[in-house]
Amino acid sequence: MITRIVKPTPDNIQLAAELLQNHEVVGMPTETVYGLAGGIFQEKALSKIFSTKERPTFDPLIVHVSWDLNKEKDFLKKLSDLQLINLSLLSTEDQTMATRLMQAYWPGPLTLIFPKSPLVPDLATSGLSTVAIRMPQHPVAQALIQAVGTPLAAPSANQFGRISPTTAEAVGRELGGRIELILDGGPCSVGVESTVLSLAGGSWTLLRPGGIPAAEIEQVLGRPLTKKSPSANLTSPGMLESHYAPRKKLYLLPGPLHLMSEEEKKSFYLSYKHLLRPSAILGLLICEGDPGEAEEMFSQFTHSKILAKSLSLHGDLQEAAKNLFAEMRSLDESAAEVIFAVPCAGPKGLGLAIADRLKRASSLL
Ligand code: TXA
Ligand code: MG
């Protein structure tokens, strides 16, 4: 199969909508990462999503919705009319809180987990009694969902476990030859996946840090979120420890290079000695600062050649999130033999989502 990457003209959006109506899957831009979209009520499309990504079926999908908010302002009513959620299983208080969050963040990178309607196929939810839903902000995603006329299930458009794509070309490199069409909506503006929040079971739990910082959500809710415990993997089966990973090994450094003591540098050298030598090229991903300076500092105690990429020169976390997967991918495709990454300073704002993705991308020594 030849994969076509096309501009999102009205004709091409119509073409993509027709493919989707015919139970095919299509590469779709969103503001977070590119998705691999398929009709939510079409079992054949859903199973194609899993087989195309080589994704295990115990990892549930997010449903993407879009409608004219001037025509229907009541989010819960519309989700119920779309046969996605079972409103009767949601307490009045949770309905109020969910509405408040949707009013604040939809369209945008916030996914909410609701009690599901029996009409949502089990394949989409991995047999769970809940369904994950978000309203994307990207105009091409909105136009596509509205042209198809039904919500679309869409996981990130990468092979299972690999780096999420933030450009149409990256989708091509991940799934080229496996899908017919990718709509090119330009580079994703957010760059990390949506924040996933569960309101099942009466507690508000952060299942995945993402594009909307948890602290902002806590302000809107007026109460703290429960943070996911490791055993919560059972309620959010997709949150596997290893994910978002490059093909090369990626190791996390303890902290910013300029803050490493002589002792720490020595111990680092001893731990990674087998990878270090003057002819070796080491990839280095830094959250902030000048890559040239970082190359010099890192080569001083690794005695190797360094190829550094900086996510943001001035430590702007939004810019860092936007660049994270693209820079991880560029190091993965570079001459570097191995990648080292410096985590962001402090889990503030989008720093938590970036730290989460780096940790899941990393290998243990
Ligand atoms: O930003 C995003 O959310 C992107 C774009 C394409 O919208 N999508 C995305 O999908 O990241 P995916 O499949 O890579 O991650 C979805 C995650 C799953 O791994 C799972 O942990 C969680 O959402 N999830 C889905 N349904 C769930 C459910 N019923 N209960 C708990 N977690 C759920
Ligand atoms: Mg994913």
296, 284 Cβ separation under 8 angstroms: no
Question: Which tokens go with 330?
Answer: 């560029």
The set of residues, in sequence order, having a beta carbon less than 8 Å from that of 10 and lying 6+ positions away, is none
pLDDT at 243: 82
Each residue of 29-56: pLDDT tens digit?
999 999 999 999 999 999 999 999 999 9
The answer to whether the CB of 282 falls within 8 A of the CB of 302 is yes
pLDDT, mean over the chain: 94
Mutate to test the pocket of ligand 1, among 28, 111, 129 (most ligand atoms within 8 A of CB): 111
Look up residue 116 and give its amino acid: K
| Nearest ligand to residue 196 Cα | 1
CB 302 within 8 A of CB 269: yes
| pLDDT tens for each residue of 263-311 | 999 999 999 999 999 999 999 999 999 999 999 999 999 999 999 999 9
Question: pLDDT exceeding 90 applies to what percent of the chain?
Answer: 90
Instruction: Flag whether pLDDT at 238 surpasses 60.
Output: no
The pLDDT score that the predictor gives to residue 240 is: 63
pLDDT in tens, 276-286: 999 999 999 99
CA–chain centroid gap for 91, Å, is 29
Distance 192 CA to ligand 2 centre (A): 10
**Which residues are found with C-beta within 5 Å of the ion, ligand 2?**
156
CA of 35 to the centre of ligand 1 (A): 11
For residue 193, the SS3 value is coil
Chain segment 185-230, per-residue pLDDT in tens? 999 999 999 999 998 767 899 999 999 999 999 999 998 998 775 4
Q: In what order do the strands lie in the sheet with 195-198?
A: 4-6, 181-183, 26-28, 35-39, 152-153, 62-64, 130-134, 110-115, 195-198, 205-208, 226-227
What ligand is nearest to the CA atom of residue 49? 1
- Is residue 235 predicted with pLDDT exceeding 70? no
pLDDT tens digit sequence for 105-162? 999 999 999 999 999 999 999 999 999 999 999 999 999 999 999 999 999 999 999 9
Report the alpha-carbon distance of residue 45 to residue 24 in Å, rounded.
Answer: 6
Q: Whose CA is nearest to atom 32 of ligand 1?
A: 236
Residue bearing the bigger pLDDT, 59 or 347: 59
Mean pLDDT of 226-241: 58
Tokens of 265: 């540098």
How far does the centroid of ligand 2 lie from the alpha carbon of residue 159, in Å? 9
Q: Count the residues in the chain.
A: 365
Determine if the pTM surpasses 0.75. Answer: yes
Ligand showing the shortest atom-to-Cα distance for residue 361: 2
| Whether residue 232 has pLDDT greater than 80 | no
- Average pLDDT of the segment spanning 166-172: 98
Q: What is the DSSP letter of 163?
A: P
